[in-house]
């Protein structure tokens, strides 16, 4: 029996993936083997000894203490791309709301409750509509910072809208580069991107190098009248620099999914309550992917889409499987295999992968390893965590 503790509202379609397995799933479980969550912040919470894995149903993992998990051999998963389309669609809505005075026009129309005659209403609307005029997206340049799952979809969408697209991503993976439309103009630095763009949208993770990357220095390079969209994280943008840029006219509008008190109720800010991924489709996709990844790990020891462990898979366990994580130094695997030789343990198949300072191995064995074997592997220097899984 595995206990999976939930935080936040997780889609039932995702949670139903635990049906048909030996699982207890709920918000109030003691000694859980796994967590599944969305944006709940876990930095301040004690890590139970029982915890083996944490699945973030979403992309950003800045709400998880990933380094602490790594030190304890706890696998942290996310769900790359599963909510990218939802964010892409809201970026389009954000660009349109910033370009056409849809909100002002709607508020104006709704305020005319004193008019009862349709002809009078029509006359007033026609007379006042010039107050709510805007500009089109076609022909304008969209700068995209971060060309991963969301950034690449936004690029496709913007090109389809007839926009020119420039991109900046110094950490672009080869896989992400293949996904990018050829028409995206590559910029070597953020300033270059800001200088050529009418709209800039941010799609980078909140990590040390991206903290406050939109500050008074970088914003100074922007074209006057830029529309800045932040559907990534609050920490990436220095809000006081954004407010100063709005006052000076450097920024025309700020669209953000992570409002701070200082940006509320300004006509030049469109503030949303972190709803970039809040669609039924994205919530289901993320929850299903997170649940599938947890099951594959808990039941078979396989790891895909982890943010701290290497991709390591050997298919479903058919007999007996021992897995262990270790600090990535030489000799650990050799020492484990020596123990197997000494204690007469027959290895059927194995895989060993590393990622940075961490390594992970899956070893299929001919027989169930004894308590003595498991304790001996756990005692090998640099081994972090040992698990045994067996076929049902
Ligand atoms: N508003 C919302 O509800 C949502 C927000 N997000 C946020 O958006 C972020 C991006 O999501 P995805 O596109 O799915 O992630 P992703 O991992 O597919 O793409 C991130 C991209 O940022 C690039 N990058 C990293 N450091 C950079 C830097 N210093 N400068 C420029 N590019 C850099 C990476 O190379 C990568 O291509 C997430 O980390 C999360 O914080 C994601 C989903 C929903
Ligand atoms: O679960 C959510 O709504 C948050 C989505 C998000 O911010 C992410 O995936 O990084």
pLDDT at 363: 98
pLDDT tops 90 at residue 78: yes
User: Can you give the pLDDT at residue 370?
Assistant: 98
pLDDT of amino acid 177: 95
Confidence of residue 20 (pLDDT cuts 50, 70, 90): confident
Ligand 2 neighbours, Cβ below 6 Å, are 38-39, 58-60, 83, 277-278
User: Which ligand number lies closest to the CA of residue 172?
Assistant: 1
- Nearest ligand, measured from the Cα of 149: 1
Cα separation, 134 vs 57, whole angstroms: 37
**Residue 320 predicted with pLDDT over 90:** yes
pLDDT tens per residue across span 362-371: 999 999 999 9
- Own/partner pairs, 372-375, CB within 8 angstroms, 24+ separation: 372/343, 373/322, 373/339, 373/340, 373/343, 373/345, 374/322
pLDDT of residue 53: 98
Stretch 160-186: mean pLDDT: 96
Q: Which DSSP string do the residues of 339-359 spell out, in sequence order? A: HHHHTTPPEEEEEEEEETTEE
- The atom number, within ligand 2, closest to the CA of 278 reads 3
The answer, yes or no, to whether any atom of ligand 1 lies below 6 A from the CB of 235, is no
Examine the residue annotation and report whether 233 is marked as an active-site residue of this protein.
Answer: yes
Question: pLDDT band at 17, cuts 50/70/90?
Answer: very high
Instruction: Report residue 311's pLDDT band, with 50, 70 and 90 as the boundaries.
Output: very high
Select which of 179, 260, 355, 382 is catalytic.
260
Q: Are 54 and 35 in contact (CB under 8 A)?
A: yes
Domains in the chain, please, with CATH?
1-83+279-309 (3.40.50.720), 85-100+135-271 (3.40.50.720), 310-380 (3.30.70.260)
Q: Whose CA is nearest to atom 1 of ligand 2?
A: 38
With the most atoms of ligand 2 within 8 angstroms of its CB, the residue from 11, 39, 57, 153 to mutate is: 39
Q: Left (φ > 0), alpha (ψ -120 to 50) or beta: where does 331 sit?
A: left
pLDDT for position 21: 80
Give yes or no: 260 in active site: yes
Mean pLDDT of the chain: 97
Please report the atom of ligand 1 found closest to the CA of residue 152.
13
pLDDT digits (tens, 9 = 90+) for 325-360: 999 999 999 999 999 999 999 999 999 999 999 999
**Distance, CA 204 to ligand 1 centroid (Å)?**
3
**ipTM entry:** 0.99
Q: Is the CB of 154 under 6 A from ligand 1?
A: no
At residue 27, φ and ψ (nearest 5 deg) are -85, -20
- Inter-helix orientation angle 371-378/332-342, to 10°: 160
Amino acid 231: pLDDT: 98
Residue 183: pLDDT over 90: yes
How many whole angstroms from 34 Cα to the centroid of ligand 1?
A: 25
Confidence grade of residue 302 (pLDDT, cut at 50, 70, 90)? very high
Ligand nearest to the CA of 256: 1
Residue of 56, 203, 233, 300 marked active site: 233
Tell me if 80 CB under 6 Å of ligand 1.
Answer: yes
Share of the chain above pLDDT 90, in %: 99
pLDDT of residue 234: 97
pLDDT at residue 93, as a whole number: 98
Q: Which of 8, 55, 58, 288 to mutate to test the pocket of ligand 2 (most atoms within 8 A of CB)?
A: 58
């Amino acid at each position: 029996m595995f206990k999976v503790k939930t935080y936040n509202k997780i889609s039932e379609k995702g949670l139903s993936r635990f049906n048909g397995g030996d699982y207890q799933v709920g918000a109030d479980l003691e000694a859980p083997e796994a967590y599944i969550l969305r944006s709940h912040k876990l930095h301040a919470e004690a890590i139970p000894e029982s915890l083996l894995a944490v699945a973030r149903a979403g992309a950003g993992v800045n709400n998880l203490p990933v380094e602490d998990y790594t030190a304890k051999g706890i696998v942290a998963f996310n769900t790359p791309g599963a909510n990218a389309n939802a964010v892409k669609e809201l970026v389009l809505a954000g660009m349109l709301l910033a370009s056409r005075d849809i909100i002002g026009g709607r508020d104006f129309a709704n305020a005319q409750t004193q008019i009862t005659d349709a002809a009078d209403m029509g006359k007033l609307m026609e007379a006042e509509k010039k107050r709510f005029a805007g500009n089109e997206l076609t022909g304008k340049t969209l700068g995209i910072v971060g060309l991963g799952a969301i950034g690449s979809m936004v690029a496709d969408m913007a090109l389809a809208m007839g926009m020119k697209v420039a991109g900046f991503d110094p950490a672009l993976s080869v896989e992400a580069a293949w996904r990018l439309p050829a028409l995206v103009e590559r910029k070597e630095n953020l300033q270059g991107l800001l200088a050529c763009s009418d709209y800039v949208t941010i799609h980078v993770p909140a990590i040390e190098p991206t903290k406050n990357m939109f500050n008074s220095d970088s914003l100074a390079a922007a074209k006057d009248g830029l529309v800045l969209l932040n559907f990534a994280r609050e920490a990436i943008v220095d809000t006081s620099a954004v407010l100063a840029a709005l006052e000076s006219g450097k920024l025309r509008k700020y669209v953000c999914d992570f409002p701070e008190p200082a940006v509320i109720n300004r006509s030049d800010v469109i503030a949303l309550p972190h709803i970039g991924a809040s669609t039924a489709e994205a919530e289901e996709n993320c929850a299903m992917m997170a649940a599938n990844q947890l099951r594959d790990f808990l039941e078979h020891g396989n790891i895909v889409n982890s943010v701290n462990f290497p991709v390591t898979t050997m298919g479903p366990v058919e007999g007996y499987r021992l897995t262990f994580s270790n600090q990535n130094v030489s000799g650990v695997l050799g020492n484990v295999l020596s123990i197997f030789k000494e204690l007469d343990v027959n290895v059927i198949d194995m895989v060993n992968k590393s990622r940075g300072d961490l390594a992970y191995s899956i070893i299929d064995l001919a027989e169930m390893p004894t308590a003595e074997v498991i304790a001996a592997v756990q005692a090998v220097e640099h081994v972090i965590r040992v698990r045994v899984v067996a076929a049902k």
